[in-house]
Structure 1
Amino acid sequence: MEIRQQIREWLYLRPRVRSVWALNLVHEFHLIIEALEGGNYNRATLDTEFMLDVDTQDVPERHPRFVTPEERYHTIRMKTDNGIIRQLGLTLSADDGSVLVWEFNFILRRRNNFIPLYSPFNFAPLYTPAETEEFLGMQLEPIDSNLFSRLLSSGLLHNNSITWILFHGA
């Protein structure tokens, strides 16, 4: 199916999140670039999910409303410096309100092994050893962050026709 036809069909469906793994990474980037070249999608929003394995003793325990800007910056910086990216969400939006949404699933590093985001090791009590082995056999390959960064800079990141919307959630 032609990429433009896929985008047209996608627009008429209820917006859904397209899950991206190593297997479909290049194809999905082609869809993203094609959508941008069409000229309708002029805003891009990023959201990240980090897995944290850090000591949070330096994080203020006050309500976020009472945290100073310096403390907030320190907390965000500590989490991003010490966290491991699990997912990156990308939403392209147009003036007519239509949106295209992707979730990019990355490699997690745990005890010198690469383990996918939804690995049973993250939810060990929920899986028996046999279920864990079966799950890992069916697991999709997560995205290599080096390849992702090369694709990101190949037409999306430095695109002057896009307004970037970035935020930090609570």
Structure 2
Amino acid sequence: MEEPNSKPVLIREVWAKNLESEFSLIRQLIPQYPFVSMDTEFPGVIFKQQILTKSYHHQNLHPLDEYNLLKANVDSLNLIQVGLTLSDVAGNLPHLGTNNSFIWQFNFRDFDVARDKHATDSIALLRKQGIDFERNVVDGVDSVHFAAMMFSSGLLYNKAVTWVTFHSAHDFGYMVKILTHRTLPTRLDEFLWVVKRLFGNKVYDIKHMIRYCDSLYGGLDRVAQTLKVYRVVGKSHQAGSDSLLTCHVFQKIRDTYFVKGGHKKCSSVLFGLELEAFHSRVVNRGGKNRLCPQINFSYNVFIPQIITFGKALS
């Protein structure tokens, strides 16, 4: 699958010195490019579920257990990168009046490999893929400043924006952590409410969507390979490159497996965190016309008031 406008894609590296100017640019582009594909890179996982039997699979964890693991890891670790790809409904990327197209990669200073907790194998992989941890500490973006820019960017609280992710629990976990500047909510339903409040109803997790697509399974690279969607810039496990691949995979899945807006039935479900209490549709796994479960936020739950940069989430 070729990028629709076929222009070479360049990654706009974002550091502390150009954070505000890049967000100013993004703010201007959102009305024309309201699809935002996101990926994050973080220092692996340090808390894991104990496997009790050989037949037990991690994906069979109850959503509440899955969230407890997510919270334990996100609360203890710091974000390394965020990748954002802006596109229009046809998948065209911003060209900024040039012969190139552009995506964004934010590099954070919050994680110090010499000081902070991490999974050694994950750090080795990220370093191999080109992440310069030492430069991040010196030149990287402070997450508090990033959060302030996010709130003024038009990316949040915007019903016109569609968010696209792949296996997004950690992506939204780290985003909620830095946007609220605190640890994740204790309860899964509270976390899902905050995600919905910040990012809206048009959130798509491709890992959830492929449950309803024949022959698609596995991670982002495997799904892309099956669909014959190719990485056009950067390397895997670089947030900018992965966000672009996520964008292209979503476009291909939407246009191949979901017709007449059928993908909308899969919105607002984060893979692995699908609470039955939130489901408003029944999945008939044996039938041809299967409907995706959809989160319903209309019921009453206690949500603590979260005030961040003068905004109340209440």
Which range, TM-score by smaller chain?
Answer: 0.5 to 0.7
Sort the Cα spacing of 1:110 and 1:97 in 2 relative to 1 into closer, same or farther, 3 A: closer
Instruction: Say yes or no: does 1:68 pair with 2:68.
Output: no
Query: Residues of 1 paired with 2:151 and 2:163: CA distance?
Result: 14
- TM-fit CA distance, 1:93: 1.7
Sort the Cα spacing of 1:60 and 1:89 in 2 relative to 1 into closer, same or farther, 3 A: farther
Aligned residues: 138
Match of 1:106 among 108, 117, 122: 108
2:32 corresponds in structure 1 to 40
- TM-fit CA distance, 1:96: 2.0
The equivalences for 1:73-88 within 5 A come to 73-88=67-82
- Where structure 1 has 5 or more consecutive residues not aligned to the other structure, the ranges are 1-10, 115-121, 127-134
Sort the Cα spacing of 1:111 and 1:45 in 2 relative to 1 into closer, same or farther, 3 A: closer
1:64-98 deviation per Cα after TM superposition (whole angstroms, max 9, x unaligned): 33322222222222221112100111121211211
Sort the Cα spacing of 1:107 and 1:101 in 2 relative to 1 into closer, same or farther, 3 A: same
Report the secondary structure of 2:42's partner residue: strand
Question: Which amino acid in structure 2 is aligned with residue 146 of structure 1?
Answer: V
Sort the Cα spacing of 1:136 and 1:91 in 2 relative to 1 into closer, same or farther, 3 A: closer
- TM-fit CA distance, 1:33: 1.0
Report the secondary structure of 1:108's partner residue: coil
Question: Which amino acid in structure 1 is aligned with residue 104 of structure 2?
Answer: W
Matched residues, percent identical? Answer: 30
**What is the root-mean-square deviation in Å for CA atoms of aligned residues?**
3.2
Sort the Cα spacing of 1:13 and 1:41 in 2 relative to 1 into closer, same or farther, 3 A: same
In 2, are the aligned partners of 1:40 and 1:95 still within 8 Å (CA)? no
**TM-score of the aligned structures, taking structure 2 as reference length:** 0.38
**TM-score of the aligned structures, taking structure 1 as reference length:** 0.64
In 2, are the aligned partners of 1:60 and 1:67 still within 8 Å (CA)? no
In 1, are the aligned partners of 2:79 and 2:111 still within 8 Å (CA)? no
Sort the Cα spacing of 1:83 and 1:168 in 2 relative to 1 into closer, same or farther, 3 A: farther
- TM-fit CA distance, 1:25: 1.0
2:156 corresponds in structure 1 to 157
Query: Residues of 2 paired with 1:93 and 1:161: CA distance?
Result: 13
Which stretch of structure 1 is more off in the superposition, 73-82 or 142-151?
A: 73-82
In 2, are the aligned partners of 1:90 and 1:101 still within 8 Å (CA)? yes
Question: Which amino acid in structure 2 is aligned with residue 86 of structure 1?
Answer: I
In 1, are the aligned partners of 2:108 and 2:141 still within 8 Å (CA)? yes
1:34-60 deviation per Cα after TM superposition (whole angstroms, max 9, x unaligned): 211xx321222222222247444xx24
Higher relative contact order (CA 8 A, sep 6+): 1
Query: Residues of 1 paired with 2:58 and 2:47: CA distance?
Result: 19
In 2, are the aligned partners of 1:52 and 1:82 still within 8 Å (CA)? no
Query: Residues of 2 paired with 1:78 and 1:136: CA distance?
Result: 26
In 1, are the aligned partners of 2:13 and 2:105 still within 8 Å (CA)? yes
